[in-house]
């Protein structure tokens, strides 16, 4: 009942053009003209020339970090004998700009337009000085015809605790700069991975990537839904660049990484990553300064660990990984009935997720919730007894909350507080330019964000969550949204320009405070929006609102890609909604999940960190895991796979929380020198279990690119030679998953999988 906010119904009359594309049917006597969807207008300062003064050429060392200026690379930074950062082979490595970013917004979708008045693309290196703690490299930034004049800059290089180097850029000018970029060198077309949760490609070479959290869109290129969403909902179809969680963090195939320092305010300003130069990666931040951290290692996994070194990460409660967490709703009686069907089918369940605990409101998009954050006692009579009964069965209860409040008056429930009115009266809401509560259109209702920059408001809201959301033995919740702070809002402290991308972290801090106040420091919460520093407060993440399809644009396959990129960006534990979420009757095509998709998604997530289902925005129109005996049996079988992996998964989850290396890993992270490393349709759970999920409808086999060694199919026992590709049978119920032969887990896992499926030892 959360939503991607595609809330205006797709009910425009539609017609097909002679070429088969869609257009809106115009009223009689008028000319048809479809409104143009908003687009990102991105730009960056292209690096210009580099001039190094003779007196600046040389080498300087501070602790374990050395800075070399001159030679093939204009500047190189080494730590512990390894290059952790270098400038491009030619051209500037610091640039600056003066200009502006304007924003168009619609229901949580944001489109930037970047414009410049000055482009300071040319750089000089005039001096380099070493002190006891740092090396300072200084010079000027200039550009032809820049009306604001040149600027001076200082690049400060320091050892980073735990290894690597800190690189801080500051600028000074009579007319201050509005943006600054650090340009990192790489070998030609070396892979670029990360920048948060990117759903389209794991390798982002050749792209302009905007770093802004926002709604990801409905369809994202899959047709006809994207065109229809754009046409009827002002650009809600989305693009490949849209994501709930964009991070200024990347790693490369050269085994180097760079990220902005989460502790510095400018690190969450809007930024643009430019990977179009095959030998460079530019990260331009819309701030006059930036603070970065550079890392390097001898393997991809060690690189990610080095980049995440020193970060604190919240632990995930063990119960969340011991069985499935099943999304149920509809009231006390319905929850009991639906859960009973799954238990009768033999499903292994450790939790339920009841999102409509606060009451249902129906919109044209589908079922939504009352964002009043108090129990709907009519819908859930005997709530506390239900939670206690489930707990006696070893099943924990989780619910739902987000950082918005709605006016409770229209709900007509005298038993609940009107939290929106209380927050309004105490000045705890984000406001608009007039100082009034900022009412954000959610599609047929409005809501206001709690102002999380106000410590008093944050404390008040944490108390609300502790008192109501975590009451009666509830052990966690989906912590939704976080990406919706408008850029024209007024805040208690700071501005949206630097706080929009930090909002998910403020939200996670608020949630973690609520858990502590409820005396549940390990309550299980999961987030879809994200940013730097958030993992300290958030143990678990999810991909957000996928379409109920297999598609790589916005379906099952996109969830895998998002998980892989998020994993190397700073989210070590990521999962997805089994079955997808967004279902839309687009009239020319009705997007509903199929039992096959439901089964395949469950198989995929059975090899993940958490196995959680979602009924979707149109529960009655989509098959559920409990709908029939067949869907219940298929789901129960997937949960037995999840259970068979339990001891291995628990070890992987603990290691991921400790090191920051993701639990679900691209093959590149485990077998970087193999042909299989290029695959982004396979993944590893930890280091020893290889999975090739079925990502296409109707498929009964899957092509698997095996890394070196021998690999044993966990469900059939068949052995496959590594270093080659093979077509592996994968009917529903028998996913293609393998353990490394002779590895430390092969014997134990094969024994645990013995009761899951038939074994066919064929050697």
Which segments of 583-666 does DSSP mark as H helices, in order?
A: 595-606, 629-644, 646-659
Q: What is the DSSP string of 86-153?
A: E--SSS-SEEEEEEEEEEEEETTEEEEEEEEEEEE-EEEE-EEEE-SS-EEEEEEEE-TT-TT--EEE
- What whole-number distance in Å separates Cα of residue 289 and Cα of residue 83? 24
For the chain, the straight-line distance linking the first and the last C-alpha, in angstroms and rounded, comes to 49
Instruction: Please tell me which residue in 203, 222, 545, 553 is annotated as part of the active site.
Output: 545
**How many Cβ atoms are within 10 Å of 28's Cβ, its own excluded?**
5
- What whole-number distance in Å separates Cα of residue 725 and Cα of residue 341? 40
Reading the block at residue 435, the tokens are 């100082």
- Helix (H) or strand (E) run with residue 66 in it: strand 65-69
Torsions phi, psi of 67, nearest 5? -120, 125
Report whether 2 contacts 401 (CB < 8 A): no
Report whether 364 contacts 444 (CB < 8 A): yes
- What whole-number distance in Å separates Cα of residue 223 and Cα of residue 237? 10
**Of 664, 697, 669, 687, the residue nearest 738 (C-alpha):** 687
Instruction: Please tell me which residue in 261, 451, 483, 603 is annotated as part of the active site.
Output: 483
Burial class (CB in 10 A: 0-12, 13-18, 19+), 393: exposed
Q: What is the DSSP string of 262-298?
A: TTSGGGGS-EEEE--STTEEEEEESSS-EEEEEEE-S
**Of 211, 207, 212, the residue nearest 192 (C-alpha):** 207
Which segments of 671-755 does DSSP mark as H helices, in order?
A: 746-752
Secondary structure class of 183 (helix, strand, coil): strand
Report whether 603 contacts 640 (CB < 8 A): no
Check if 554 is active-site.
no
- What whole-number distance in Å separates Cα of residue 752 and Cα of residue 714? 9
Check if 483 is active-site.
yes
Reading the block at residue 442, the tokens are 């959610």
Residues in CB range of 19: below 8 A, 6 or more apart: none
Check if 545 is active-site.
yes
Torsion of CA 486, 487, 493, 498, to 10 degrees: 120
Report whether 612 contacts 575 (CB < 8 A): yes
- DSSP strand E in 440-499: where? 440-441, 446-449, 476-479
**Of 282, 520, 309, the residue nearest 399 (C-alpha):** 520
- What whole-number distance in Å separates Cα of residue 307 and Cα of residue 257? 7
Residue appearing with tokens 């201050």: 176
Instruction: Write a three-state SS string for 480-496.
Output: CCCCCCCCCCECCCCCH
**Of 64, 564, 657, 660, the residue nearest 303 (C-alpha):** 660
Active site residues: 480, 483, 545
């Amino acid at each position: 009942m959360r939503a991607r906010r595609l809330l205006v119904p797709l009910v425009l009359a539609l017609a097909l053009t002679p070429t088969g594309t869609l257009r809106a049917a115009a009223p009689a006597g008028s000319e048809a003209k479809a409104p143009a969807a908003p687009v990102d207008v991105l730009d960056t300062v292209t690096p210009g020339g580099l001039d190094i003064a003779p007196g600046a050429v040389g080498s300087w060392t501070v602790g374990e970090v050395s800075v070399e200026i001159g030679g093939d690379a204009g500047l190189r930074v080494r730590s512990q004998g390894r290059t952790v950062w270098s400038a491009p082979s030619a051209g500037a490595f610091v640039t600056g700009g003066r200009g502006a970013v304007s924003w168009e917004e619609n229901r949580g979708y944001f489109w930037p337009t970047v414009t410049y008045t000055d482009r300071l693309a040319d750089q000089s290196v005039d001096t380099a000085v070493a002190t006891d703690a740092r090396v300072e490299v200084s010079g000027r930034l200039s550009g032809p015809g820049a009306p604001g004049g040149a600027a001076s800059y200082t690049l400060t290089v320091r050892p980073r605790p735990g290894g690597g180097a800190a690189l801080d850029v500051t600028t000074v000018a009579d007319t201050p700069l509005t943006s600054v970029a650090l340009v990192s060198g790489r070998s030609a077309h070396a892979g670029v991975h990360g920048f948060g949760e990117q759903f389209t490609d794991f390798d982002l070479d050749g792209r302009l990537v905007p770093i802004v959290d926002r709604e990801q869109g409905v369809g994202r290129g899959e047709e006809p839904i994207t065109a229809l969403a754009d046409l009827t909902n002002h650009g809600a179809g989305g693009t490949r660049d849209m994501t709930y969680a964009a991070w200024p963090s990347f790693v490369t195939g050269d085994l180097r990484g760079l990220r902005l320092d989460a502790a510095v305010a400018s690190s969450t300003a809007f930024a643009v990553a430019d990977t179009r130069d095959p030998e460079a990666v530019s990260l331009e931040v819309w701030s006059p300064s930036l603070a970065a951290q550079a890392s390097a290692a001898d393997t991809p996994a060690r690189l990610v660990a080095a980049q995440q070194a020193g970060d604190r990460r919240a632990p995930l409660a063990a119960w969340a990984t011991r069985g499935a967490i099943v999304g149920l709703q509809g009231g006390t009686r319905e929850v009991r009935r639906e859960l009973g069907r799954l238990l009768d089918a033999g499903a292994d369940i450790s939790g339920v997720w009841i999102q409509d605990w606060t009451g249902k409101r129906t919109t044209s998009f589908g079922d939504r919730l009352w964002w009043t954050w108090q129990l709907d006692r009519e819908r859930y009579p005997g709530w506390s007894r239900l939670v206690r009964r489930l707990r006696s069965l070893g099943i924990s209860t989780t619910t739902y909350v987000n950082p918005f409040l709605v006016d409770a008056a229209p709900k007509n429930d005298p038993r609940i507080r009107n939290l929106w009115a209380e927050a309004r009266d105490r000045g705890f809401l984000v406001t608009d330019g007039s100082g009034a509560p900022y009412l954000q259109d959610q599609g047929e209702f409005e809501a206001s964000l709690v102002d999380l920059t106000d410590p008093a408001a944050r404390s008040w809201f944490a108390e609300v969550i502790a008192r109501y959301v975590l009451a009666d033995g509830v052990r966690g919740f989906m912590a939704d949204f976080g990406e919706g702070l408008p850029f024209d809002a007024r805040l208690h402290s700071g501005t949206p320009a630097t706080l929009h991308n930090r909002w998910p972290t403020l939200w996670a801090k608020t949630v973690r405070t609520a858990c502590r106040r409820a005396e549940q420091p390990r309550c299980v919460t999961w987030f879809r929006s994200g940013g730097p520093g958030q993992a300290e407060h958030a143990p678990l993440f999810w991909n957000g609102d996928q379409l109920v399809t297999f598609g790589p644009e916005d379906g099952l396959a996109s969830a895998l890609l998002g998980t892989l990129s998020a994993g190397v960006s700073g989210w070590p534990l990521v999962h997805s909604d089994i079955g997808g979420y967004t279902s839309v009757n687009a009239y020319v095509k009705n997007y509903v999940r199929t039992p096959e998709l439901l089964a395949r998604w469950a198989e995929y997530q059975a090899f993940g960190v958490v196995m959680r289902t979602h009924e979707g925005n149109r529960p009655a129109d989509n098959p559920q895991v409990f709908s029939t005996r067949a869907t219940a049996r298929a789901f129960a079988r997937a949960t037995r796979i999840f259970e068979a992996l339990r001891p291995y998964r628990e070890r992987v989850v603990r290691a991921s929380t400790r090191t920051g290396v993701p639990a679900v890993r691209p093959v590149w992270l485990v077998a970087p020198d193999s042909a299989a490393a290029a695959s982004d349709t396979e993944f590893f759970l930890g280091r020893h279990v290889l999975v090739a999920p079925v990502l296409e409808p109707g498929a009964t086999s899957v092509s698997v690119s095996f890394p070196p060694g021998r690999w044993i199919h966990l469900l059939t026992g068949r052995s496959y030679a590594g270093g080659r590709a093979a077509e592996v049978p994968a009917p529903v119920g028998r996913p293609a998953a393998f353990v490394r032969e002779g590895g430390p887990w092969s014997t134990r896992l094969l024994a645990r999988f013995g009761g899951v499926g038939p074994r066919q030892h064929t050697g």
